[in-house]
Structure 1
Amino acid sequence: MARRRSFLSALLRGGAPVLASATSELSDEVADPRAPALPALRRVAGPVDAAARDGLLLRAARFVALIPIVYRLLAVPAAFAVFAGSGAPGLLPVSLVVACAVALSLFELGWLVRGAPFSPTVATRLLTLDVTFAIGANLVVAASVPESGLAPAGEVAVRYLLGTVALLTLALGVGYGAALALATVPLHLAMDWLGTGRVDVQAAFAGLGRLLGVLLTAVGALVLVGLGTRLALAYGIRTGRLAERAVQHRRLHDTVLQTLEAMALPGSGDAERLRRMARAEATALRRYLESDSGGESGPLAEKLGSLAAEMARDGLRAQLVLGELDDETLPEVRQLAVRDAVREAMRNTLKHAGTDRVLVRTEERDGGIATTIRDHGAGFSPEDRPPGFGISESIVARLTEVGGTATVDSSPGGGTRVTLWVPKD
């Protein structure tokens, strides 16, 4: 069994890839807006299995490394501009170092933003090359630039080294970044010996403080990004669960509950008719459970035609007036939303309107598809009868989820008109 540690500890040890840890540990309580902030953060930083990785999250986690790479692309040329403007000797070797630094950073940037899957092996090789170049660039500058120009020239190579410390910290964890920062002490001593023939131990340790500052900044950024990402994932998971629960509630309301209510209506029919209704509903529910999309394929016209036949078995005769719509006019998810909203409107007619006839019309309108369900039944007053679950959830909410709208117009004795609209694109 893989060893489990807190998310914060794993993040500091393993760097950005820990952001891809499996999200099974994130409960609804983490993202509950009513929960106090500190307990929520403690849950976010709670135990995780860092070995369980989500491929999509792992691919996204690599973009954290963009921060130090972009820093180097800005800081190294800026330091070179200061060096060149000072008139100090050693322009040629420093120019070559800058050219290689920019080329390597651009290559790493392109590798990060490319569309190919993340490769840990290639990432390890690039980081090894990056560290090797960072150390080598400082040694080359120290060995090739005269002592009078060593200070501004060395700043060019040091800027790249600062970015590498931050890069290792974000990509591999605090341990790697700290190790490179400590390695700069003997590096600085070697640079002193190559550039001046002397060794300044005090200056070597003084430069370490700057690198530790970069290390702490990178650690802070890693913690903030890590906790923020986990909290965002927790909110996303909670929202997804709530949305799935709403879909299931809506499905039960639109199928099983509606059928049971229809069976309970006075004069609903003999036992054979009730058996047919139950059999049809069981078949439809089984098809929904076995289907990825929750409905049959085919254009909207076919879906509405099947729906009219389904309602006819329950005693509601629907007249369909369907415009000429291309098969690709609407995405499948919007077709299903329209069909299920129409079903709810027709069932409301069957239960409440006191009529067995309804008109369903579809047409292109205002850059989308409009569907109107009209009956001349009893109607109702919206003030006296506020929308219940059927209207607010099965009709309005369903259309809103796919970018559409739904309106219900009714008056006592004037029937009811339900108008659905969804965009084509």
Structure 2
Amino acid sequence: MATATSELRDEVADPTPVRALRRISVMAGPVDTGAQDGLLLRAARYVALAPLVYRVFAVPGALVGFLATTGGPGTAVVVAVAVCSLLLNLYGVRWMLRSAPFRPAAAVRLLTLDVVFTVAANLAVGLAVPPAAFEAAADVPGKHLLGAIALLTLAVGMPWGLALLAADVPLHGTMYFLSSGQWDFGIAVGRVGSMLGVLFTATGALILLGLGTRLALAYGIRNGMQAEQARQHRRIHDTVLQTLEAMSLPGAGPPEEQLAQLRRLARAQASELRRAIEADGMATNRPLGEKLASLATEMARDGLRAQVVIAELDAATLDEVRQIAIRDAVREAMRNTMKHSGTDHVVVRVEERDGGIAVITRDHGTGFSAENRPPGFGISESITARLAEVGGTATVESAPGNGTRVTLWVPC
């Protein structure tokens, strides 16, 4: 919920006053045209779901209380009002959960229908029931009215909720007049206290939603910046730093040959960086097998022979983000083999396992002791952290003289 992009529109990110319904619309709508999941969609909709869900339970409860204590004339009208209220609220819940993106025009129509029904339901009950049953019967549309005040406050702001609350004084007085033929000011203002409580509660929820939205956006932006920084650090480590380390290794042969090899490494690294920069933001849509085969070719230029064994996999098994994470983690494991194992051969095996894809790299080099190995950027960041970002895991098994096995796993 707290994930944010760098392309927030002013209606969400800027403190410029914007109508509440417009702000919720922007929050719930997609950030870019290709995305269907809206920004903070659940927060915007869940807060508006509260009064709808309240009425789903409160209105039938008030109806049961009316039938148990009073009943009699007007019962059919009260039952019809309760049933219509229940259906309207269930439709509202379904609309809030199913419609995406949030559509202001449809929301305005539903809110208008809700207010019209609220007024009509109260008048119908007042006209149908006798004075003796008025208090219990009026509680049924009254529960719907409480939810309407909360819904208007949350959707379009406190002034609208306050306006509906003020309108209830003549409305409730008219209900009693239709029932008894008399006007009673005490009865007319009898529901104001409970409705003020609902109004203030909804206003508080709206304030908390705004504060929570700002906090979530700030948290998401900070996490995004940290993730981007970590990604750039890994890129530098996996490309430039690795090449510089390879250049610093002692070589065999005449100086001219070593100089030519350094030039080849530099050209290969420049090409790799250029491809990485051009590929940012664009999916290559190549299968994982092709990515690993290209990686094996890349490692062969540096003197590491890689045997790649791939099981038959569905081309759509992994998305592009997880494929790139696997490829880059395998690259780091192979470079560790090249630098530390004392062997120039590694086996890479790809298979389906535990509802995901596992890639195992195995060499028969010198190995190392896990207890004595100082924590380094290569395994903790370029392998473990990279896979953790996409929901995967990495396991490194090694012992002196027994080589090293690195098992990478990501869910499908």
> What's the TM-score once normalised by structure 2's chain length?
0.84
Classify the secondary structure of the residue corresponding to 1:56. Answer: coil
Classify the secondary structure of the residue corresponding to 1:340. Answer: helix
Name the CA shift for 1:94/1:333 in 2 (closer, same or farther; >3 Å): same
Match of 2:129 among 138, 142, 145: 145
Match of 1:248 among 212, 218, 232: 232
- Equivalent positions of 1:24-423 (< 5 A) are 56-57=38-39, 59-60=41-42, 61-85=44-68, 86-267=70-251, 270-292=258-280, 296-365=284-353, 368-412=356-400, 414=401, 416-423=403-410
Classify the secondary structure of the residue corresponding to 1:112. Answer: helix
- Residue type matched to 2:190 in 1? A
| Contact 1:165–1:181 (CA under 8 A) maintained in structure 2 | yes
| Contact 2:48–2:154 (CA under 8 A) maintained in structure 1 | yes
Classify the secondary structure of the residue corresponding to 1:68. Answer: helix
| Contact 1:16–1:64 (CA under 8 A) maintained in structure 2 | no
Name the CA shift for 1:136/1:325 in 2 (closer, same or farther; >3 Å): closer
In 1: Cα distance, 2:73 partner to 2:321 partner: 68
In 2: Cα distance, 1:127 partner to 1:118 partner: 14
| Contact 1:58–1:118 (CA under 8 A) maintained in structure 2 | no
| Contact 2:149–2:164 (CA under 8 A) maintained in structure 1 | yes
How far does residue 220 in structure 1 lie from its aligned partner after superposition? 2.1
In 2: Cα distance, 1:3 partner to 1:237 partner: 17
Q: Deviations over 1:158-185 (max 9, x none)?
A: 1111111111011111111011111111
In 2: Cα distance, 1:19 partner to 1:227 partner: 14
Classify the secondary structure of the residue corresponding to 2:65. Answer: helix
In 1: Cα distance, 2:14 partner to 2:298 partner: 55
In 1: Cα distance, 2:304 partner to 2:322 partner: 24
Q: Deviations over 1:289-344 (max 9, x none)?
A: 22246785433332222112111211222233444444344443333222212211
1:44 matched residue in structure 2: none
Aligned-pair identity (%): 56
How far does residue 248 in structure 1 lie from its aligned partner after superposition? 1.6
How far does residue 391 in structure 1 lie from its aligned partner after superposition? 1.0
> What's the TM-score once normalised by structure 1's chain length?
0.82
Name the CA shift for 1:259/1:296 in 2 (closer, same or farther; >3 Å): farther
| Contact 1:360–1:371 (CA under 8 A) maintained in structure 2 | yes
- Residue type matched to 1:56 in 2? G
Q: Which moved more, 1:300-309 or 1:174-183?
A: 300-309
| Contact 2:63–2:140 (CA under 8 A) maintained in structure 1 | yes
In 1: Cα distance, 2:274 partner to 2:224 partner: 23
| Contact 1:19–1:229 (CA under 8 A) maintained in structure 2 | no
Match of 1:18 among 15, 23, 26: 23
In 2: Cα distance, 1:17 partner to 1:3 partner: 8
| Contact 2:59–2:143 (CA under 8 A) maintained in structure 1 | yes
Equivalent residue pairs, number: 390
How far does residue 212 in structure 1 lie from its aligned partner after superposition? 0.6
In 2: Cα distance, 1:64 partner to 1:158 partner: 21
| Contact 1:296–1:303 (CA under 8 A) maintained in structure 2 | no
How far does residue 397 in structure 1 lie from its aligned partner after superposition? 1.9
| Contact 2:59–2:141 (CA under 8 A) maintained in structure 1 | yes
2:7 matched residue in structure 1: none
Name the CA shift for 1:250/1:196 in 2 (closer, same or farther; >3 Å): same
Q: Deviations over 1:196-238 (max 9, x none)?
A: 2222223323321121111112112222333234323332332
In 2: Cα distance, 1:176 partner to 1:200 partner: 26
Name the CA shift for 1:418/1:296 in 2 (closer, same or farther; >3 Å): farther
Name the CA shift for 1:156/1:369 in 2 (closer, same or farther; >3 Å): closer
In 2: Cα distance, 1:186 partner to 1:300 partner: 70
Unaligned regions of 5+ residues in structure 1, if any? 24-53
